[in-house]
Each structure stands twice: as C-alpha cells, then as structure tokens.
Amino acid sequence: MSTDQIILFSLFGAVFGLLLWGRFRYDLVAFSALMMGVVLGVVPSKDAFSGFGHPATLVVALVLVVSAGLVRSGAVLLITRTLVDASRSLAAHITLMGVIGGVLSAFMNNVAALALLMPVDIQTARKAGRGPGLSLMPLSFATILGGMVTLIGTPPNIIIATIREDSLGAPFRMFDFAPVGGAVALVGLIFVALIGWRLIPIRDSGVGESLSRLAPYLAELRVPEGSKLDGSRLRELEGSAAEADVALLGILRDGKRRFGTGRNLTLREGDVLILEAAPDALDEFRVGQSLEVAETGNAAAEAVGEIGRAHV
C-alpha cells in the first residue's frame, strides 16, 4: 500500500469516526477532511472544489429547493392533515403514512419528506394515546424505500445516472429506477405495515408527554387580499379552529380591538386574528384558511388581556 493510500484511508477512518461521534457538524467534518487532503498532497489543489460544480451536486441542490417550496407552500401539510386520522388503528396509520412518505420521497429529498411528516406523526400518536416510536421508525423506512423509485428520490441515484452518462453517453431517465425500486418499495412497505412495526420494542420515549406539555403561544394572522374569509363571520371559523386545536381570542382592525360581540363580526381584508395555539396547530390553521403571518408589534399583546376579559 502506497503512502497516499495510507493517508486517504486514515482520513476516511477519521471522518467516519467523527460522524459516528456526532460532536461536530458533518459539513465541517467533511470540509476539514478535504482541506487536510489538499495540505497532505493526496487531493490536487486544482480539483479540490471541482465537486461543487458537478451536475449531481447541482441536481441535489435543486431537489432541496423544490422540497423547501413544497414545505413553505403548505401543500404537504394540507395533504397529511386531510388524510391522517388519529382514530385509525396503528397498522392502518402506518400504511397510510408510509404511502404518503414513500410518494413524497420519490419526488423530493427523502430526509426532507421525513422531516415534514414527523410532526404530523407525533401529533397523531399523541391524540391516539400511543407512543410515537411505534410509527416513527416505519415512517423513516418508508421514506427511504420511496426514494428508490425515481431518479431524484435519493442522491445516489443521481450520482449513478451521472456516472452512466460519463461512461455510456446517456444517463438514467426519471423513472428508469421504478421497475426495480418500485417493486422493492412496495414489498418493503407491505412488510413494515403488516409485520415490521410489531418487532419494534415498546419503550416510553417521553416524546408524547413532552409534546403534551408544550405550551401554546399567542400569534397574529392577517386576512389577506382576496381571501375567501372576506365577508364571513368570525363564528364561522370556530369549527376549523377547534379542529386544528386553535383558540380564537379576538380581532384587531385598523389598530383597534374588536371584542364583546366579536363572534358576529364580519371579517374584512386586513383584519388580524389573535390566536393561541401550539406551533404545528397554528401552521395547520394558517395554511388551511390561507392566512398570512402578521406583525403588529405590541398592539396585539396589549390587546390580549382585554380580549380575554371580554370573553370573545
């Protein structure tokens, strides 16, 4: 074994060790290893940053942009909130969440898909009175399996497609992975939904309990221009608010507090709703009603006391 090979294997071993340790951020570990390779002469300085311009890197970055767009638009949240029901059995819940996670991870980064669905899964477990660990692990497997179906589902597929293009002149297309990846994903999802979750040790992780103690906070949401709520009454929102675990405290209009008979108040564009809710519930209500986050300074906070006393 040559000196360069010994140095490279030593660097790889150090990187793996630091990643397993978890003491330092993975990007800092990787960049430090690259710089060490340049300093030690095993990585040519002219090629040190060539990977950032590689087509696979750019495609992965674009997939992350698409994932962020889906998150911020609220499209994924609407899908999951519409389909997920805490009254379902654990097997049915795992099957549904696995299908949603698998489909999402086929068209966006699988880690981002898992991050999107985790809060929904945890909240559903809390409402159903079961430990979230029973459904979180199957969900993570489902997003991994779904990523194998398409070209952009997981970074290794993109890298392999790029290598194929360099070697044979033509990359893999979007759904070239589907015949094999789709079959494996389907079999994996069936196993996880029917058998796999039964093998998970039942332990009290404390996640559900800690979430139940999560205190709600006050927030302001504005009725935007062209909103479907323009002209409706405040009391018509109570059903949607209760379903999302959101408390309607009152309204600010033109800087003035509206309370007392506020339930019969007709909403207008620009009205600011004063709400009390947990973060995930607030986000669900905001997306479902197409509201905007408002920044009213201290006016809303000062109004809350009077609104509460008026029993809107």
Measured in whole angstroms, the distance separating CA 297 from the mean position of its chain's CA atoms is 29
**Count of CB atoms within 10 A of residue 218's CB?**
14
Using CB atoms within 10 Å of the CB of residue 101, give its burial: 0 to 12 exposed, 13 to 18 middle, 19+ buried. Answer: buried
Q: Going by C-beta distance under 8 Å and a sequence separation of 6 or more, which residues neighbour residue 312?
A: 248, 249, 250, 259, 260, 262, 263
118-149: pLDDT as tens digits: 777 877 887 777 778 788 889 989 999 998 89
Nearest residue to 312 (alpha-carbon basis) of 275, 270, 269, 268: 275
Band the pLDDT of 259: cuts 50, 70, 90: low
CATH of domain 215-310: 3.30.70.1450
Residue 304 has pLDDT above 50, yes or no: no
Residue 260 has pLDDT above 50, yes or no: no
Q: Which residues pair with 218 in a beta bridge?
A: 276
- Give the span between the Cα atoms of 15 and 298, in whole angstroms: 49
Domain regions of the chain by residue span: 3-48, 49-214, 215-310
Strands of 247-253's sheet in order across: 256-258, 247-253, 272-277, 217-222, 292-293
pTM over 0.75: no
pLDDT computed for residue 179 by the predictor: 92
Residue that is written with structure tokens 């003491």 in the block: 23
In this structure, of 11-25, 122-136, 155-169, the range with the lowest mean pLDDT score is 122-136
41-74: pLDDT as tens digits: 888 888 888 877 776 677 667 767 776 776 666 6
Residue 186 has pLDDT above 90, yes or no: yes
Nearest residue to 111 (alpha-carbon basis) of 157, 54, 68, 175: 68
Two structure tokens written together for 138: 């199957």
pLDDT computed for residue 70 by the predictor: 67
- Give the span between the Cα atoms of 245 and 261, in whole angstroms: 22
In the 8-state DSSP scheme, what is residue 256?
Answer: E
- Give the span between the Cα atoms of 69 and 153, in whole angstroms: 16
